[in-house]
């Protein structure tokens, strides 16, 4: 069974960190409703959702993906690139400890989970404004004993690697080539987002379904024409906070550890 850890929207989300987006007012009630619909979409796909309470003093805390990297054997708790977000890790680590042993990264390493795209035993890690070389090196060291390969990928013009590309199954990577070093993805089929939808590369694969923001109908049509099963969800308010569909959950396979 797949488990998704999520967290309720913070009432202070309008104070979120922004790097590439201009600030826009976020309707908190609408964001909460959209997040609830996102969680329901996961449930409909057979995922057990474990929802954590909101963190009123942590505006970005709904974006739980950034605070952990979970593989089959262990959960790694990073030092997130934005100092204001680092307190988010404490409660998420407590929740994950029921399912995985924990390993902790140390400064000067910084790494956001949104920079980590796992495909099998390979983890592609974005070298971004939030993830530095020390972070990539520490993740490589922490996961080496489990046989994972960690591959650094240059990211430019967007927040995280998974803003620029995500794995959607069938050996395909949905991608905006302008934001990422595509040479690292030899052997994969690169599925280019339409030029009119440059932010559409962030999609979430759950079993055989691809969850995609409803703001990107041309990307959905392209994927469906190629045989992908797509579920659209409205995350427009969270997109104002540089969020997408991957960053609102940490998804992994049970069973729990004792």
- How far is Cα 146 from Cα 248, in angstroms, rounded to an integer? 26
Angstrom CA distances, 81 to 76, 115, 123, 133, 189, stand at 15, 11, 18, 12, 30
The catalytic position among 16, 41, 165, 247 is 247
The catalytic position among 16, 41, 158, 160 is 160
Phi/psi region, residue 169 (left: phi>0; alpha: psi -120 to 50; beta: rest), is: left
Task: Say whether 165 is catalytic.
Answer: no
Task: Say whether 247 is catalytic.
Answer: yes
Nearest to 67 by CA among 35, 41, 22, 102: 102
Q: Tokens 């934005």 belong to which residue?
A: 82
Q: Tell me the residue ranges of DSSP E strands in 128-215.
A: 149-154, 165-169, 172-175, 189-192, 204-206, 209-213
- How far is Cα 61 from Cα 215, in angstroms, rounded to an integer? 23
- How far is Cα 197 from Cα 217, in angstroms, rounded to an integer? 9
Q: Which two tokens stand for residue 156?
A: 């430019």
∠ CA 120-81-110, nearest 5°, is: 60
Nearest to 158 by CA among 181, 140, 135, 139: 181
Nearest to 85 by CA among 66, 105, 107, 108: 66
- Catalytically active residues are 160, 247
């Amino acid at each position: 069974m797949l488990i998704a850890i999520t967290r309720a929207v913070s009432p202070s989300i309008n104070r979120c960190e922004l790097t590439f987006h201009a600030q826009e007012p976020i309707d908190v009630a609408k964001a909460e409703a959209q997040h609830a619909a996102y969680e329901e979409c996961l449930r409909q796909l057979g995922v057990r959702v474990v929802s954590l309470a909101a963190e009123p003093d942590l505006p970005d805390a709904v974006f739980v993906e950034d605070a952990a990297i979970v593989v089959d054997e262990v959960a790694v708790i990073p030092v997130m690139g934005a100092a204001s977000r680092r307190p988010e890790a404490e409660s998420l680590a407590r929740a994950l400890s029921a399912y995985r042993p924990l390993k902790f990264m140390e400064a000067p390493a910084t790494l956001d989970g949104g920079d980590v795209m796992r495909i099998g035993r390979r983890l592609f890690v974005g070298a971004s404004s939030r993830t530095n070389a020390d972070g990539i090196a520490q993740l490589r060291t922490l996961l080496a004993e489990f046989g994972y390969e960690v591959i650094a990928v240059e990211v430019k013009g967007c927040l995280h690697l998974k803003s620029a590309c995500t794995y959607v199954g069938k050996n395909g990577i949905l991608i905006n080539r302008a934001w990422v070093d595509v040479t690292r993805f030899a052997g994969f089929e690169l599925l280019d987002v339409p030029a009119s939808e440059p932010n559409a590369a962030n999609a979430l694969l759950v079993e055989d379904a691809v969850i995609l923001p409803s703001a990107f109908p041309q990307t959905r049509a392209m994927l469906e024409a190629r045989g992908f099963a797509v579920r659209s969800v409205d995350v427009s308010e969270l997109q104002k906070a540089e969020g997408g569909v991957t960053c609102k959950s940490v998804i992994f396979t049970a069973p729990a550890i004792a």
